[in-house]
Amino acid sequence: MTRKTLSIEINGQVRAAEVDPRLTLADLLRHEFDLTGTHLGCEHGVCGACTVLLDGRSVRSCLMFAVQADGKKVTTVEGLGGDANGLSVLQRAFREHHALQCGFCTPGMLATLTELLIDNPDPTEGEVREVITGNLCRCTGYAGIVSAALDAARRIRAGEI
Ligand code: FES
Ligand code: FES
């Protein structure tokens, strides 16, 4: 199979690779670039654990070929951080509201909710719950995740970075 050369900006850094056309974006991130914060659960688009941002929009990295991201910007959980501890407001809110237990769903949840808070900085609880219907969590019961998202939205609107 002819290998393809691609160049992707990942978490602000341009990365190049030569890959098989059938390689998924998730496998590129995890195996070529060691960005193992992107998790793989179902590997067929159901669980949301592999969600990353592609040009600012959430995508299932298990359902995309790496070559489809050529020339685009990808943000993984490793690139979401903002403060001196490397955590965004949303990540800090997750920690404070006990929005994670095993953490397997967390990178995907954070990507999905980061997109929501950019699109809609003042979401209702219903809007938060609706947007995470595509991200499965087996541990938390979702209550902490919803509180964290609503609290992060309040704090971002108040100017916290
Ligand atoms: Fe991609 Fe489950 S691993 S949606
Ligand atoms: Fe364990 Fe969500 S914290 S799956």
Q: If you take atom 4 of ligand 1, which residue's CA is the nearest one?
A: 45
pLDDT above 80 (res 4) = yes
How far is it, in rounded angstroms, from Cα 27 to Cα 17? 12
Confirm or reject: Cβ of 128 under 6 Å from ligand 2: no
Specify the CATH number for the domain of residue 54.
3.10.20.30
94 and 72 in a common domain: no
Q: Domain of 14?
A: 4-79
pLDDT above 80 (res 83) = no
Segment 110-119 mean pLDDT: 98
- Residue 84 maps to a domain: no
Residue with structure tokens 């499965």? 136
Confirm or reject: Cβ of 60 under 6 Å from ligand 1: yes
User: Is the whole-model pTM more than 0.85?
Assistant: yes
pLDDT in the model for residue 86:
87
Count the domains in the chain. Answer: 2
pLDDT above 70 (res 114) = yes
Residue in 113, 38, 110, 96 with CA at minimum distance from that of residue 69:
38
Segment 110-124 mean pLDDT: 98
